[in-house]
Amino acid sequence: MTVKVTTTVNGNQVSGDVEPNTLLVHFIRENLELTGTHVGCDTSQCGACTVHVDGRPVKSCTMLAVQAEGHEVTTIEGIGEEGNLHPMQAAFQEEHGLQCGFCTPGMIMASIGIVDRNKDNLSEEVVRHELEGNICRCTGYHNIVKSVLAGARDM
Amino acid sequence: MYNFTYHRAGSVDEAASLISDNEDAKLLAGGMTLLPTMKQRLAMPSDLVDLNEIGDLSGISVDGGTVTIGATTRHADVAASADVQAAIPALAALANQIGDPQVRNRGTIGGSLANADPAADYPAAVVGLGATVVTNKREIAGDDFFVDMFETALDEGEIITAVRFPVPQKASYFKFPNPASRYPIVGVMVAVTDAGVRVGITGAAPSAFRNAEMEAALGSNFSVDALDGISVDADGLNEDMHASAAYRASLVSTGAKRAVAAIA
Ligand SMILES: Cc1cc2nc3c(=O)[nH]c(=O)nc-3n(C[C@H](O)[C@H](O)[C@H](O)COP(=O)(O)OP(=O)(O)OC[C@H]3O[C@@H](n4cnc5c(N)ncnc54)[C@H](O)[C@@H]3O)c2cc1C
Ligand code: FES
Ligand code: FES
């Protein structure tokens, strides 16, 4: 039996009928057709699905769509747009923080959280430690760390 | 994931009645263990009772010598709490080492304790600091809470509402993480309390336990040297692809020494 869910995504109120076992990431990708949020694993480890719920990065593959009821969700589509990128998006572009790009939306959403939490004590060490929940198969992380530090300077 | 009926509980009483009528129902807290398990079809509850919208189940308060943490308080909120950092810095540090930031933004202390993963971090704090687990029915001493691997003293349908930690004189947590999963292979909480020294160990055995010999030695001489010559018996310790029982025994000794060195 479907359940009605009403939530705010990227500032817009949205609602839909979902099965209780619909994951938030599938609601975002399939019902809302916002396909920037990716699914890279089924063990809650890769972070490709990272979105913000009430301003905090979470793995949208490990939350039910119905649990977003009454909360505010922000996806990669909600932080910037072509020609007007979020500073963290621009930094990933400038610093070559991506290769295939699969992990990138999750990396950027997690990175914004890292900067929010560590405004006063951001360092390479902090960034490396706090990227623990995001896996990248291409870059070797080095340019991602550079991107986060560069993005933080402009945020 | 198999389908189920979803219930958003508005109060602990409502959650308790939803769960007690139905033995195939499960409580849902942070979902960081339960949902991955359901995705792999290793669990197939008929109903999920969501605790996340019960406002008074979440929050931290410090009162005299006790830190009380509500069951649905997220790991990130324990780690970032100025009150916890001031009263029991080792507990804030432990919470900050659980999983990764996204896991800490959802996972809860009640879910972690109810799950009783042999490799979870919080059990070392509950046993090592002598905490009390408060449920909707009673209070359970930390020493009696963990029964076996993934098994606790909770009755069917019993709900953890809060955990009370007595503030120690000083405490320190050493974690040796599995480099892939970040769960502790061994974690050791050493605390100097008004009632003596406590050493709580997680990761090494089917459930968290104390080491009486270390506690006695540290009680008369709180120094790394006091632990020299105390050997940990590998018999009955966990053994898997990550570490043998003998290696875990050795990590318990080393972990206890490192934890003591940080505060001696
Ligand atoms: C990638 C990853 C890495 C992780 N790394 C670590 C780590 O390093 N260390 C560590 O300790 N943990 C780790 N975890 C586990 C994490 O801490 C979980 O948050 C925790 O084990 C379960 O808490 P939860 O709130 O998510 O519970 P849920 O998954 O919602 O529930 C777990 C179980 O507890 C029951 N339950 C939940 N709340 C209550 C309650 N109030 N009363 C009674 N029963 C209840 C549920 O019915 C269920 O059976 C990791 C998880 C992931 C996905
Ligand atoms: S898809 Fe969510 S963590 Fe991998
Ligand atoms: S850029 Fe390819 S996975 Fe990260």
Residue of A59, A107, A120, A127 to mutate for B, most B C-beta atoms under 10 A = A59
Q: How many domains does chain B have?
A: 2
Instruction: Give the residues surrounding ligand 3 with Cβ less than 6 Å away.
Output: A 98-104, 136-139
- Check A132 against B182: CB less than 8 A apart: yes
Cα(B5)–Cα(B7) distance, integer angstroms: 7
pLDDT, position B23: 87
Q: Which of A20, A53, A133 sits opposite B103 (nearest CB)?
A: A133
Residue B103 exposed, middle or buried by CB count within 10 Å (0-12, 13-18, 19+): buried
Span B171-190, pLDDT tens digits:
999 999 998 888 999 999 99
pLDDT, position B64: 87
Q: Which of A23, A42, A110 sits opposite B101 (nearest CB)?
A: A110
Q: Is residue B204 part of a domain?
A: yes
The one-character DSSP state at A61 is: G
- Check B35 against A47: CB less than 8 A apart: no
Residue of A5, A52, A61, A64 to mutate for B, most B C-beta atoms under 10 A = A64
Contact list in A for residue B1 (CB cut-off 8 A) is 21, 23
Domain with CATH 3.10.20.30 in chain A: 3-78
Helix axes A87-94, A142-154, angle to 10 degrees: 140
Residue of B77, B97, B102 to mutate for A, most A C-beta atoms under 10 A = B102
CATH class of A87-154: mainly alpha
For residue A141, the ligand closest to its alpha carbon is 3
Span B29-86, pLDDT tens digits:
999 999 999 999 999 999 999 999 999 999 999 998 999 999 999 999 999 999 999 9
Please identify, by atom number, the ligand 1 atom nearest to the C-alpha of residue B135: 42
Beta-ladder partners of B151: B148
- Give B196 to chain A, closest Cα distance, Å: 35
**Is any ligand 1 atom within 6 A of the Cβ of residue B160?**
yes
Q: Quick check: B101 pLDDT over 80?
A: yes
CATH assignment of the domain containing B32: 3.30.43.10
- Check B100 against A47: CB less than 8 A apart: yes
Q: Is residue B161 part of a domain?
A: no
Long-range own/partner contacts, residues B239-248 (CB < 8 A, 24 or more apart): B242/B178, B242/B185, B243/B185, B243/B186, B248/B185, B248/B186, B248/B203, B248/B204
pLDDT, position B136: 98
Contact list in A for residue B40 (CB cut-off 8 A) is 42
Nearest to A106 by CA among A81, A71, A126, A132: A132
Q: Is residue B35 part of a domain?
A: yes
Neighbours of B167 (CB within 10 A): 19
pLDDT, position B180: 86
Please identify, by atom number, the ligand 2 atom nearest to the C-alpha of residue A133: 3
Where do runs of H (alpha helix) occur along chain A?
24-26, 87-94, 104-117, 124-130, 142-154
Q: Is residue B69 part of a domain?
A: no
Cα(A59)–Cα(A106) distance, integer angstroms: 9
Q: Is residue B110 part of a domain?
A: no
Q: Is B8 on the interface with A (CB under 8 A)?
A: yes
In terms of residue numbers, what domain contains B2? 1-54
Q: Which of B2, B40, B182 sits opposite A21 (nearest CB)?
A: B2
**Is any ligand 1 atom within 6 A of the Cβ of residue B264?**
no
CATH assignment of the domain containing B181: 3.30.390.50
Q: Is residue B126 part of a domain?
A: no
| Mean of per-residue pLDDT scores for chain A | 97
* Residue owning tokens 């972990």: B255
Q: Is residue B33 part of a domain?
A: yes
Q: Is B4 on the interface with A (CB under 8 A)?
A: yes
- Picking from B14, B31, B54, the residue at the C-terminal end of a domain is B54
Nearest to B72 by CA among B35, B13, B114, B39: B114
- Give B3 to chain A, closest Cα distance, Å: 5
Contact status, residue B102 vs residue A57, Cβ threshold 8 Å: yes
Cα(B250)–Cα(B13) distance, integer angstroms: 46
The ipTM of this complex is: 0.97
Domain with CATH 1.10.150.120 in chain A: 87-154
Span B140-165, pLDDT tens digits:
999 999 999 999 999 999 999 999 99
CA of A108 to the centre of ligand 2 (A): 14
pLDDT, position B35: 98
Q: Quick check: A92 pLDDT over 90?
A: yes
CATH 3.10.20.30 fits A3-78, yes or no: yes
Q: Quick check: B108 pLDDT over 80?
A: yes
Cα(B71)–Cα(B56) distance, integer angstroms: 9
Q: Is B46 on the interface with A (CB under 8 A)?
A: no
**Is any ligand 1 atom within 6 A of the Cβ of residue B57?**
no
Span A60-85, pLDDT tens digits:
999 999 999 999 999 999 999 999 99
pLDDT, position B181: 87
Which residue from A minimizes the CA distance to B6?
A20
- Give B26 to chain A, closest Cα distance, Å: 14
Mean pLDDT of the B224-236 span: 95
